[in-house]
Structure 1
Amino acid sequence: MKKIMVLSLSVTLAACATSQADLATQKDVDLNQYMGTWYEQARLPNSFQRECVGDVQANYVMAADKTITVTNRCQGSDGQVKEAVGQGRLASSVNPADPAVLEVRFAPKWLSWLPMVWGDYWIMKLEGDYQYSLVGTPDRKYLWVLSRDKQADPKTVSQLLDYAASQGFAVQKVIPTNQ
């Protein structure tokens, strides 16, 4: 019985490791070009954005030390603007550092030493010379389609979602964003 339990656990852990390791990312990302304002076009539902009903945007600013200030804004269901300011960085688990593999945290700075406060932010695909970005997490729980313009081309958004589906994301659950 112990052997069966150990074997089952080993298979489960191997499956988890494989599903996280095989998420393709965009090659040759230039983070300087990535900086600036992005408008959310669609996302997989998540708990930290449940109050956001529209006008969802993110602004990224890189500091001299290569850390990134992340400012997320949206219109809340109460009509008020919601804002969260966090920090981004190259993922420390990737060697050499891949600029498409980032981590972000919105927890207080004094907690930044804890690995669990950092969330994955992987740039899966860029389109149109940094006009569109598909961002996801290797566990396939989080997904965003972003564009530089508030009103995106529906065909490009659809193509990015098709690509996400090919990478194992549940795109049938994606919700469009009111911009």
Structure 2
Amino acid sequence: MPLDGRWRRHRDDIGRRRIRIPHARCMPTPAAHMDKLHTGAGPMFNDSLETAAHVDLGRYLGRWFEIARLPNPHQSDECTDVRIDYTLDEQGALRFSRSCINPDGLSRIDGGRLTTKDVGRAKLSVSFVPDSLRWLPFTHRDYWILRIDEDYTMALIGARNRRRLWLLSRARQPDPGLRDEFLAHAERQGFDLTALLYTQQERTHALREWPQPDAHAENAAAARGGLAMQVEAVRVERDQRASERPQ
């Protein structure tokens, strides 16, 4: 057969071959991609989270009471009377100790360290593990101060992924109007408050009897349970991301 005839036959064979296209269900559409962004999984949604313009960490120090929060792997839903004490250690690092009362009446204390990430000092990261383990990237979580009033009596704390949120107050029973105003601000920022937990603040006498945890006790508590809590939190967030992926 002449060369040009063989070429025409080969060309015809190529034209008759089927080109397999992946099933449309497996191919993400632009709309699906935008949905992913607007559910908190993409950078467009995360970067839009607004924080307080400036935070005076000196005024932020001291005792705060947890008024409400979204469920998170670090805190038991049965723990009440949650309070947080923010202090500076001898090296000038910002640390906190968190106390609560378990259903059996016993107190529970944990703690960690906060690191500033921006000039305005509203974007911080929190770690519950000892200093020697804080070089691990998965031991840090967002701690962004989204809003704080002029008198530093109420603060709204959240994370970029909108899965963690805390409302803190200097008073155990804050003004309901101010509380609702801060929570409405969280909703406008894209937080889903359907599962919001309101923290009971009733056992005041038990709170007063608790000793103020020192730095050594705080580090010991973090060393015992901090790393395990961080690993569990990573696992939970990984499972959540996997469940949100399009099937």
Does the alignment reach a TM-score above 0.5? Answer: yes
- Counterpart of 1:61 in structure 2 is 87
Greater RCO, CA 8 A, separation 6+: 1
* Consecutive unaligned residues in structure 1, runs of 5 or more: none
- Whether contact under 8 Å (1:52, 1:74) holds in the other structure is no
- Whether contact under 8 Å (2:37, 2:45) holds in the other structure is no
Name the TM-score, length of structure 1 as normaliser: 0.86
Larger strand percent? 1
- Whether contact under 8 Å (1:27, 1:100) holds in the other structure is yes
What SS does structure 1 have at the residue aligned with 2:194? helix
- Whether contact under 8 Å (2:122, 2:146) holds in the other structure is yes
Q: Deviations over 1:70-122 (max 9, x none)?
A: 1000011221110002111113xx5xx33000111112222100111011110
For these two proteins, the number of residue pairs brought into alignment is 175
What SS does structure 2 have at the residue aligned with 1:60? strand
* Consecutive unaligned residues in structure 2, runs of 5 or more: 1-21, 202-247
| Match among 150, 161, 175 for residue 139 of structure 1 | 161
Larger helix percent? 2
- Counterpart of 2:152 in structure 1 is 130
Alignment partner of 1:87 is 2:113: yes
Percent identity between the aligned chains? Answer: 33
Shift of 1:154: 1.2
- Whether contact under 8 Å (1:60, 1:69) holds in the other structure is yes
Shift of 1:129: 1.1
Deviant stretches of 4+, over 4 Å: 7-15
Shift of 1:34: 0.6
- Counterpart of 2:205 in structure 1 is none
Once the two structures are superposed, the pairs formed by residues 94-133 of structure 1 within 5 Å of their partners are: 94=118, 97-133=119-155
| Match among 148, 154, 158 for residue 170 of structure 2 | 148
- Whether contact under 8 Å (1:51, 1:76) holds in the other structure is no
| Match among 40, 48, 73 for residue 47 of structure 1 | 73
Alignment partner of 1:75 is 2:101: yes
What SS does structure 1 have at the residue aligned with 2:58? helix
What SS does structure 1 have at the residue aligned with 2:66? strand
Name the TM-score, length of structure 2 as normaliser: 0.64
- Counterpart of 1:16 in structure 2 is 42
